[in-house]
A and B are shown apart, each in its own frame.
Chain A
Amino acid sequence: MSYKVSLHGVRGSRPKHKLEMLGYGGNSTSIEFKVDEDFHLFLDGGSGLVKRGIELGKEPPKKEFHILITHTHWDHILGFPLFEPMYNPKNTFTFYASNTQKASFEELFKGLMNSNHLPVPSSQIKAKINFVEIKPGNEFKIGPNVKVKTLQLNHQGITLGYRVEYKGASAIVITDNAPIENGNYMGENMATLAKADPKQFEKQFDLGLIGFLDQADLVVFDTHFTEENLKPDWGHSTPQRALAFCDKARVKKLSLFHHAPEDSDSDVDAKLASICDEAVKKGVEVFASTEGHEWTLV
C-alpha cells in the first residue's frame, strides 16, 4: 500500500540535450503518481513519458492509463505518440483535460494523432482512448480511492493545476503558472472576470491557490524564472514566489520545476540556494526537481 510520485521530465519549454544540464535532466514535463491500484496515473506527456514507456515494456502490464493534462503546449504533449503503451490494443487511456473556447482537448489531440506529420504511423496507435472534460474547480475520482482536485492557473488557455489525494497524502502540480499581479491575466476569461475589480480578482486568485495547496505533502511548482530575469507575461514563476505560497499553505515539501532550457545544472543549483535559508526558517523542505527522482509519500 503505497503512494509514490516520480519525475520523468522536469525541463520547461522543450526537451533539451546539452551536457551541462543533464544532472537535473533535459526531458520535458511528465510526472507519474504511482498509486497502489490497477492503473497508471500520469500528468502530461512531454518527452519524459517516452522513456517511461520503454521501461513499462519490461514490467508486468497494467492495462488502464489515466492522464491528467495541464495544457496543450507542445512540450507537455509531444511524447504521447511515442509512448509504447499507446500501441497496444488491450490498453485503455482516459485523458482529463480542459476545453477552451477555440477547441476541445479531444479535437486538438485527435488533430495531432491524425496529422500528416506525425513521426509514427497513426494506424499503429491502437489503444482505446477516452476523453473527460474538466472545468476548473472540478473534483473527481479515479477508481475508488484516488481523489483529484483542479484549479485554473495563470497561463494561456485553460491551464489546470492538479491535486492528487491518496491514502491520506496529497501531491500537487502547479505548472505552468505566472504571477497574477499588475494585470498579468493570461488565462482564458481571466481579463473579463478581473475587469470589475482587478485588485480583488488578483487577491482571490492568490487566496484560491493557497487554499488549493493547503497542507499538501508535496508541491511541484513552475519556477522557470528567477526574480532577476522574470518575464511575467511568458507564463512562469520563480522559486521565491513558489516558496511564499507554500509557506502560507503550510506545505511540507516544495520541488522547483520547469527548469528553463537556458538553465545549466549550476543555474538550477543557484535557484535552490536562493531560497534555502528562507525555506529553513519557514519549515518547508525544498528540492530542485531531478529527472528520475521519486518521493514516497505513503
Chain B
Amino acid sequence: MDSSLKIKFWGTRGLVSSPGPDHAIYGGNTATIQISKNDQFIVVDSGFGLTNFGDSLAGKSNLDIHIFYTQFRWDHTQGLPFFLPIYFPENNIHLYSPHPADEIHKKLDILFDPSYSPFEGLKKMPANIHCHQIKQNDLVQTFNVQFEEVNVGREIRKNSNIPSYSYRFSSADAPDLAVVLNHEASPCKENEKVTELCRDVDMLIHDALYFEEDYLDHQGWGHSTPRLALELALKARARKVILTQHAPGRTDQSINELMDALKKEKNFQNLKFDFAQEEPEYIVEQIKNVKKAI
C-alpha cells in the first residue's frame, strides 16, 4: 500500500477562469482539487477545473465521485453542470458540506436554473446526486474529515453571512492535508481556529489571491496574500504549503518573480512552498517514523 497522497489541481484560479497562454504554467480554471490515496479519490470544490477532470474520465462508467464544498460562491461550484459523469445514470455523485443536505441542493440548483442554463434543475440531471451534511470526524473514502469556518472578510459579510469552510483530511496510513480557500488569514477568531485545524499538517493548500499591492484596496474581501498564508503555515507548523487561487490576469511571470522573492526572505527560508500549477501531480509522502493518531 502506497502511503502517499497525490494532489492534482484541475483549477487554480480564484474569482473567475482566466484562460491564456501566459497562464500556461500556473493554470486558468476556477478551483478544483483532486486528492488521491491508493485507488480512491475525493475532490474539493467544482469550479470549471472540474470539467477538465471530467474529460479525463471519459469512457469510465459506474463512477462514485465525492465532492467537498468549501463554499457555494460560483467560482467554487460553476463546473458541476459541465462535468461529464453527471450525464450518465449509472454514476453516483456525492456532494458534501457542513451545511444541511437540502441547503447544498438548493445552492447548487441555481447553476442548473433554466433562466441561466440549458438545464431544468439539478434533480433532472441523469446521474444519481446525493447531498450529505458532513459532521466533524466523519469518514469518507477512508479520509477522516474535520472542518472550521474561515474568515470570509467583513466586506463579503455585508452581502452574505453564510459560512464557508476549510477542511482537514486525515488518515492513519497517509499524510494529513488541509485545504483553506477564501480565508483572509488576518487576526480574528476564525484565523485562530483555522490555524489550529492546520496544526502539524503534512500539506497545507491555502488561498493567496492578492499580492501585497492589491491587498491594500481589498482588505475585508476574504482572501489572503502569499505572506499571510505563509505566516499561518509557520504558526501551524505545516510541513509543506501550496498557494492557490491565483487572481484573474495574474501571469506566470509575475508568480515566478514573487515566488523567487519570497523564497529569499529569512522568515520563509525553512518553509517548503510552491504556487499551484494545473499540469503536475503533487505527491505528499508520509513521514515513515512518525506515529499517527487521529
Q: Which residues of A contact B (CB under 8 A)?
A: 11, 13-19, 22, 25-27, 47, 50-51, 54, 72-74, 77-79, 82, 100, 102-103, 108, 114-124, 156-157, 234-235, 261
List the A side residues contacting B59 at CB < 8 Å.
Answer: none
B5 contacts partner chain A, Cβ-Cβ < 8 Å: no
A-B contact pairs, 20 of them (CB 8 A): A14-B78, A15-B17, A15-B28, A15-B48, A27-B17, A27-B20, A72-B115, A73-B117, A74-B111, A82-B16, A114-B159, A117-B71, A117-B74, A121-B156, A121-B159, A121-B220, A123-B155, A156-B118, A235-B118, A261-B82
Q: Does A156 lie within 8 Å of B15, measured CB to CB?
A: no
A234 to B82 Cα, complex, angstroms: 14
Tell me if B63 is interfacial: C-beta within 8 Å of chain A.
Answer: no
Question: Nearest Cβ distance between residue B159 and chain A, in whole angstroms?
Answer: 4
B73 close to A117 (CB less than 8 A) = yes
Q: Complex formed: what's the CA distance from A51 to B115 in Å?
A: 25
Contact with A along B25-41 (1 / 0, CB 8 A): 00111000000000000
A26 CB contact (under 8 Å) in B20, B114, B117, B248: B20
Q: How far is the CA of A102 from the CA of B115 in the complex (A)?
A: 8
List which B103-150 residues lie within 8 A (CB) of chain A.
107, 110-111, 114-118
Instruction: Say how far A165's CB is from chain B's closest CB, in angstroms.
Output: 30
Determine whether the beta carbon of A47 is less than 8 Å from that of B17: yes
Chain A residues near B221 (CB, 8 Å)? 120-121, 124
Total A-B pairs, Cβ < 8 A: 135
CB-CB nearest in chain A for B14 = A119
- What is B's interface to A at a CB cutoff of 8 Å? 13-21, 23-24, 27-29, 48, 51-52, 71-75, 77-79, 82, 107, 110-111, 114-118, 153, 155-156, 158-160, 162, 220-222, 248-249, 278
Kindly state the separation between the CA atoms of A22 and B20 in the bound complex, as whole angstroms: 6
Question: Do the beta carbons of B118 and A73 come within 8 Å of each other?
Answer: yes
CB–CB B19/A156 < 8 A: no
A50 touches B18 (CB 8 A): yes
Closest to B158 in A: A123
| Cα A79 to Cα B16 with chains together (Å) | 7
Say whether A117 contacts B72, CB under 8 Å. yes
Q: How far is the CA of A11 from the CA of B29 in the complex (A)?
A: 14
CB pair A117–B160 under 8 Å, yes or no, is yes
Query: B19 touching A15 by the CB < 8 A rule?
Result: yes
Q: Give the CA-CA distance A47 to B71 in the complex, in Å.
A: 21
| Chain B residues in 8 Å Cβ range of A121 | 153, 155-156, 158-159, 220-222
Contacting pair B159 A78 (CB below 8 A): no
User: B248–A50 contact, CB under 8 A?
Assistant: yes
Which residues of the partner chain A approach B23 to less than 8 Å between Cβ atoms?
17
Q: Which residues of chain B have C-beta atoms less than 8 A from A103's C-beta?
A: 115
With a cutoff of 8 Å between Cβ atoms, the chain B residues found around residue A115 in the complex are 110, 159
Q: How far is the CB of A209 from chain B (nearest CB, A)?
A: 21
- Write out the residue numbers on chain B whose beta carbons fall within 8 Å of the beta carbon of A25: 19-20
Question: Nearest CB to that of B250 among chain A residues?
Answer: A54
Contact of B19 among A26, A79, A120, A122 (CB under 8 A): A26
